Structure 1
Amino acid sequence: MRVYITTLLLLLVILGACKPSESTYAPEEHLSEREQKEILYTTIRYLGHLPKKGSHENKFEERFDEYYSKLALDYTLEAYHQADGYEYFLVSRIAPSFKVKKVATGVKMKRDSNGEVVFYQEVFRTWKFEVPEMLEKGLMLFDKMVKGEDLSPYYIANSGEEEYIEFPDGKIQYDTIQRRWIVKSAQDAISLN
């Protein structure tokens, strides 16, 4: 009996070792703390709200550096993946609410050899959720985004009673040229930020 149990345990250990390792999106598995902060600082002028007297035309001016440096501290890098020359990441921030709630944004980005952003797209932005629900839904959507899967079943028009993605929707889309969410109307487009 003892030999049988020992053999069974040994077999389980061998099978466990042969199991393919699951990919993890934990930022700390891929990036140093400095690199994580660098991603937030590099993208905060796209992710964050404009400062007072700021516009999309002048938001990169040096006079707003302090504002954006402080604003980046409000964001948390929740997930990260790199593939096919692109970086994918999920960031969250606290959203106004009576309870502590956060929104998450899934981003696809490409930087050149100097670290300059050459492509930037906010693929989705979730509704505001309490943290456990934001993480569950945000990471599920992030995984689908990384794998190139269709996210439209999670748009508000298609998700029924369950909320997942607030933007994009039928009226609000992300413009990769202007690098911001825009509301498209019949006449023109206006910016959300």
Structure 2
Amino acid sequence: MNKLLMFLTFLAVGFACQEKNYSPDQLDDKEKEEVMYAMVRYYGRLPKKFASHENKFEGRFDAHYRKHALEHNLLAYHKDCNEREYFLISREAPSLFEKYVATGIVMERDEAENIVYYKEVFRTWKMREPELQIKSMMLFDRMVQGQDLRPYYPQHSGTEEYIEFPDAVNAYDTRTRRWLHSSLITGTAD
């Protein structure tokens, strides 16, 4: 009987890990705020004066990053069986018309909640809200499932716009946690 119970528990946990629940409401409001703030120094803009990638973690920039994190929306969230977390965030983009961009992020944290791995897997083109929702959720699902996103890169998607970055020239460097020209990326690719 114990073996049957262990097997059923294992099976239930396995199905729960594979469940496609992408609702950001899996996190409460405080958790959302904390995780968006923890990542904002990577996905966000640098403060305009005196900030660089070398000093962006200094406390004097905290107010900027707290405010900047609130300018982003968490559209989707998933945590897999290996504790890897996936995020789909959006923000309003500079445009004559109301348009947004979305970024697909994969991240791992240690027991103390420190970010030990961070990668922006894709960033979309500027889009109006309904189009962004449809396309970014499709890309997010493919990202979570580990499927190839290259058909949606600009050099492969024809006239249909999905992903702006990465492209034929720019890629995300997990070592520096920044988008860079492909020739500048050192280390191993993910």
TM-score, normalised to structure 1, is: 0.83
Query: What's the offset of the Cα at 1:56?
Result: 0.5
Deviations 1:11-61 (A, max 9, x none): xxxxxxxxxxx7221101x11111111111000000111112100000000
> Helix, strand or coil: the match of 1:129?
coil
Aligned position for 1:8: none
Matches within 5 A, 1:27-66: 27-28=24-25, 30-51=26-47, 52-66=49-63
Give the counterpart letter for 2:44 in structure 1. Answer: G
Off by >3 Å, runs of 4+ in structure 1: none
Aligned position for 1:89: 87
Aligned position for 1:68: 65
The aligned length equals 165
Deviations 1:84-129 (A, max 9, x none): 2200010000000111110000000000000100000000000010
Instruction: Tell me the distance in 2 between the aligned counterparts of 1:162 and 1:82.
Output: 30
Matches within 5 A, 1:156-167: 156-167=154-165
2:128 to 127, 130, 137: 130
Give the counterpart letter for 2:140 in structure 1. Answer: F
Instruction: Tell me the distance in 2 between the aligned counterparts of 1:60 and 1:91.
Output: 21
Give the counterpart letter for 2:138 in structure 1. Answer: M
Instruction: Tell me the distance in 1 between the aligned counterparts of 2:39 and 2:97.
Output: 27
Instruction: Tell me the distance in 1 between the aligned counterparts of 2:21 and 2:163.
Output: 23
Question: Highest Rg: 1 or 2?
Answer: 1
1:169 to 167, 170, 175: 167
> Helix, strand or coil: the match of 1:93?
strand
Please state if 1:155 is matched with 2:156.
no
Instruction: Tell me the distance in 2 between the aligned counterparts of 1:138 and 1:95.
Output: 15
> Helix, strand or coil: the match of 1:85?
coil
Query: What's the offset of the Cα at 1:184?
Result: 3.3
Instruction: Tell me the distance in 1 between the aligned counterparts of 2:182 and 2:145.
Output: 28
Between the aligned residues of both structures, percent identity stands at: 54
> Helix, strand or coil: the match of 2:65?
helix
Aligned position for 2:74: 77
Q: Give the unaligned 5+ runs of structure 1.
A: 1-21
Q: Give the unaligned 5+ runs of structure 2.
A: 1-18, 186-190
Instruction: Tell me the distance in 2 between the aligned counterparts of 1:111 and 1:73.
Output: 21
> Helix, strand or coil: the match of 1:108?
strand
Aligned position for 1:142: 140
